[in-house]
Structures are given as C-alpha cells and as structure tokens.
Amino acid sequence: MRVSHGWYVQSGEPMDLLRRCHALTAVLPDDAVFSDITAAQIYGLPAPSLVDALTAPVHVTLTPRRCVPQRKDVVVHRRAMTSDEIAVVGGLPVTVPARLYADLAMTLPMESLAVIGDSLLRAGLVTTDTAASHLGSLRRRRGLALARQTLELLDGRAQSPPETTIRLRLHIAGIPAEPQCAITDRHGVLIGHADLGYRAARVALEYEGRQHSEGDQFDYDLDRYSRFAAAGWLVIRCGRRDLANGSAVLIERVRAALASR
C-alpha cells in the first residue's frame, strides 16, 4: 500500500492518518514533529474542509537547517521548537495544542482558526489562559496578531464548526449571540439549550445539519422547538445554505427578529 512517494507498506488493515504518519517516521529525520493541519487531525479536530487524511500532504516541523527532506506529499516547516512544545499522541510526536493554535494562525483565515480554537477549548486540550501565555512568548511572527484577535472571540461551548462560524459572523456584524443559550419555561424549568441565543429578546438560532431530518432526530427537534415557542421564544432555523455569502441573509433575518422583539 502506497504511503508516500516511493514509500510503501504491506497491505492489511485499512490505512488511516495515524498509520500513514507512523510509516512516514521511517523516512523522516528523528526531530520531525507532526504539526499544523496534520497535528489538528491527529488530535481529532475538524480540519476545515481542507484535506483528505490519506491524500493531502503531511505537515511536519523541523529544527531550522539548510537542507530539508524534499518529498512531494510532505510539507516541511523550518521552525525552532522547544521540548515542552512537543507532545506524544497515538505514539506520534505532535505539537502541543497551544503551539498548534499559534502555528495554524500563520496559514488559516480567522473563521477556520476559530473553528479549530473552539474545538480545542471544547475538548479540554487547551485553555484560553494557556493559549494566551504561549502567544505572549512569541515575537514578530506571522499570524500572531490574528491569533490574539481570534483568541478573544473563542468559546468552547460551540458544538460544531457551523455554530462557530455563524457565531463569529454575528459578532463581527455587531449582534453577538450567546452559545448554548439556556431556555426555561415560565416556571424557570430548563427546557433545553439553543445553539445560539439572545436571552433578552428571546430569539434562538438553531443550526440543522442533514442528520436533523432523519428518524427520531426530526421528531425530537419538532417537540423541542414547540416547547421553545410555548416559552415565548422565536426560533430561527438555519442550515448549510446560510453559510454562503458570509451568512448575509441570515444576519439580516436575525436583525429583523431582534427588532421585532
């Protein structure tokens, strides 16, 4: 089975990213550390619609040197790295989450970086204090200003990449929403949590992927939204199309809903 250009392993179990990276360690320098979007995938974070784990180039970081391995499907980053910036995940050396966040800020746009950042927080892999401390130790680095700006907007309560994206766009539009907004009935009993919400106006946003149209999930959502409405909340349902064009249509719907309340 082909792992990299000119490099094969014996066929057997299906190849996945971890097996691919383990195989590559045989041809990479001893100080190679898996980094950037490859490290994000190893941690199980959502790689923003970028990559296929079996075909995209693998990213590694090496101590700066004149000559580095030249392989078609390996991207080499020459960056200084200390031992406390390296972790072992699945038997592989990878950049620690705080360093990973800083490295990704060098190449990702704000929305994609926020998706990774929210996922890091939600998984408990990093805290905002830890990330801020690491960023504070860096000087004159590409993406540093973006990393700091985005860090202030992160929230580990987001349950999915679309929720992060919509929350960020609403914030930039000047109408920031609360993630996982608690909704109670007239007796103060918790009914549920909206993906995003405006408590004072009682306006909730719910992002629905394709799984929401299937089986028990559809019936569950129907009952849930009915209970939200009975408690006096206006529910705005949104989906994949609402991510297009910067969510301009959705943002206007939210503005209109808030004005009406």
pLDDT score, position 72: 80
Give, for 11, the enclosing helix (H) or strand (E).
none
Residue 46: pLDDT band (50, 70, 90) is confident
| Tokens read off for 147 | 């990393």
**Alpha carbon distance 186, 42 (integer Å):** 45
Report domain extents, the chain. Answer: 2-151, 161-260
Task: For residue range 189-240, list pLDDT tens digits in order.
Answer: 999 999 999 999 999 999 997 654 556 677 777 888 999 999 999 999 999 9
pLDDT of residue 53: 56
pLDDT of 35 reads 97
This prediction's pTM: 0.86
pLDDT tens for 67-105 read: 877 778 899 999 999 999 999 999 999 999 999 999 999
Interval 26-50 mean pLDDT = 88
Q: Partners of 92 in the beta sheet?
A: 89
41: Cβ contacts below 8 Å, ≥ 6 apart: 17, 47, 51, 53
User: In a 3-state reduction of DSSP, which class is residue 203?
Assistant: strand
Q: Return the CATH architecture of domain 161-260.
A: 3-Layer(aba) Sandwich (3.40)
Q: Are 42 and 22 in contact (CB under 8 A)?
A: no
